[in-house]
Chain A
Amino acid sequence: MNRSTYILTAIVVLLFIVSWTLKAVSLSGEVDDNITRGFLITISAFLTLAIFSFLYKDNPFYKFAEHLFVGVSAAFWMCQGFWSTLVGNLFPRLSEGLSNFFMVPYQYSPYNITYWIPVILGLLLLMRLSSKAGWLSRWPLAFIVGTTAGLNFIRYLRSDFVVQVSSTFVPLLGNESHPWTGIGDFFSHLSLSASGQFMMILANWIIFLGVICGLIYFFFSKEHKGVFGFASRIGIWVLMITFGASFGYTVMGRISLLVGRLTFLFRDWLEIIS
């Protein structure tokens, strides 16, 4: 670290203390409680600004916040996993003593001994940290891979293939609730309502042809030329509109997060909005 970094750090520490003091004074309630809350809100604001500082350029404050996040998050997931699943699901099946210690109801079953299997597999997974016995972690990995493959096979087949394909075969001239009422009504209502027959029919055609053309675009075993190439081209257009819609939604999502952070800074920290 060079001299300017030390000076900047000192200024930030000073600002932190000033902010903490002002925040604690501005809060209503018990003094001790205010000091703690003032500290917590200030640290939260400091970390927010530390991350935002990356927008100017990479700097030690950003790195500090980033490294802190990685460490704290890893421990967070470990603790949640330990208390929710090991204490909640494993210990009550392994031992009555452990269940009593953690104050969770013991679940007796003559097959409880089989719950040593995931314990052993879990411990073998940790062998990955060892350079010599690392290969043993393949066994639990194989269990994880097998479970995921077995679970996904049927579910994707049913929900993402069969149901999606059947939902694509939609009536192309009206449907049961809004049957075709003749050419006279066709263009009279260009709306999303049920009476807007043109839009409904157009939507159904786009869904039917769009899915087929989209799939043709993804089919690379046949050269994309002639009728097949034309369909593939339509497929690209449909996909481009899809990506445009996704882009619009992505912008919306990211802006919402920024609104959330600025709301925190303005309302909870600076108290300039209500």
Chain B
Amino acid sequence: MKRLVPLTITFIVGFVLIFSVFLPPAEGLDQTFTLYFDIIAVFAFFLGGGNLMRVHINKLRRQKKDWGFSVVTIAGFLFMLAAGLFKIGNPGDIATAVDTQGSLFKTVFDYVINPLQSTMYSLLAFFVASASYRAFRAKNREATLLLIAAFVILLGRTPFGMMVTGWIPDSFSIFQIPNLAIWIMNSPNLAGQRAIIIGIGLGVISMSLRLILGVERSYLGDDNA
């Protein structure tokens, strides 16, 4: 029951979705299954939210280290949930989009989520700079190649590249840094990325087959019941 049912579900669903490509009458079933998948995805959002609350409520109850910040998480969660589910401040009716301009939900998105998320990722600019100074060394031939390619791209993707090498005549324009950057992207980068894509593609294909045929069962956990 704990293993057979999930393995059967995976097999049937996977099998139908693959064969619907070859069998047009099965296309309807393929769409229906995918629609089920989309609906279940929303429950996964709920699971994520529920789990987050569970973790922070536990932290709060046991007054673990930094429990005060858990209050911030819980309060932020409940506030946003209320703003979204009850469409507080939404200028339209119940059918209007939850993030209509002017609603509390959209306001929190614009003035809280937006600055927080974009600033968090922008911190990486500082860390990339620090890593460039401390770790980016031309220690061997491979690292030197990487470094040269990075330099060409960094220069070539700014107007400075053309300012420095714009004097090179058209007949030898490949040596203008922006053109060299384009060439790197279109040739060696394309070749390397394609090799990676083909490798990953083969991995995905074989893993999909293993999952559908029940060879790969790690997603079921290690419970042998």
Which residue of the partner chain, among A82, A188, A214, contacts B84 with CB atoms under 8 Å? A82
Given A138-B6, A149-B208, also A73-B113 (CB < 8 A): yes
Given A81-B45, A257-B125, also A67-B72 (CB < 8 A): yes
B115: interface (CB < 8 Å):
yes
Interchain CB contact under 8 A, B80 and A76: yes
Which residue of the partner chain, among B50, B128, B171, B191, contacts A206 with CB atoms under 8 Å? B191
Interchain CB contact under 8 A, A135 and B2: yes
A172: interface (CB < 8 Å):
no
Interchain CB contact under 8 A, A79 and B187: no
A230: interface (CB < 8 Å):
no
Query: For residue A159, which residues in chain B have a CB less than 8 angstroms away from its CB?
Result: 201
A29: interface (CB < 8 Å):
no
A6: interface (CB < 8 Å):
no
Q: Mark A173-210, 1 if CB is under 8 A from B, else 0.
A: 00000000000000011111100100100110011011
A43: interface (CB < 8 Å):
yes
Interchain CB contact under 8 A, B32 and A114: yes
Query: Considering only CB atoms, which chain A residue lies closest to B154 in the complex?
Result: A248
Which of the listed residues B109, B110, B179, B198 has the most CB atoms from chain A within 10 Å of its own CB? Answer: B198
- In the complex, how many residues of chain A place their beta carbon closer than 8 angstroms to a beta carbon of chain B? 125
Given A76-B80, A146-B12, A236-B142, also A242-B188 (CB < 8 A): yes
Interchain CB contact under 8 A, B112 and A79: no
Interchain CB contact under 8 A, B126 and A55: yes
Interchain CB contact under 8 A, A79 and B153: no
Query: For residue A57, which residues in chain B have a CB less than 8 angstroms away from its CB?
Result: none
Q: List 7 A-B contacts (CB under 8 A).
A: A67-B72, A71-B73, A74-B49, A75-B84, A145-B211, A146-B11, A243-B149
Interchain CB contact under 8 A, A190 and B175: yes
Given A82-B84, A191-B179, A239-B195, also A151-B153 (CB < 8 A): no
Query: For residue A267, which residues in chain B have a CB less than 8 angstroms away from its CB?
Result: none
Sort chain B's interface into a size bin: 35 or more
Number of CB contacts from chain A to chain B under 8 A: 429
Minimum Cβ distance to chain B for residue A201 (Å) = 11
Which residue of the partner chain, among B120, B205, B212, contacts A146 with CB atoms under 8 Å? B212
Which residue of the partner chain, among A45, A82, A154, A238, contacts B195 with CB atoms under 8 Å? A238
A85 to B46, alpha carbons, bound, how many Å? 13
A209 to B142, alpha carbons, bound, how many Å? 18
Interchain CB contact under 8 A, B43 and A126: yes
Interchain CB contact under 8 A, A164 and B212: no
Which residue of the partner chain, among B123, B173, B219, contacts A190 with CB atoms under 8 Å? B173
Query: For residue A206, which residues in chain B have a CB less than 8 angstroms away from its CB?
Result: 187-188, 191
6 tightest Cβ-Cβ pairs between the two chains A and B? A210-B191, A214-B195, A79-B84, A150-B17, A244-B149, A242-B192
Interchain CB contact under 8 A, A51 and B123: yes
**Among A14-22, A116-124, A221-229, the stretch in contact with B:** A116-124
Interchain CB contact under 8 A, A192 and B112: no
Which of the listed residues B146, B182, B221 has the most CB atoms from chain A within 10 Å of its own CB? Answer: B146
Interchain CB contact under 8 A, B42 and A122: yes
Which residue of the partner chain, among A89, A149, A214, contacts B196 with CB atoms under 8 Å? A214
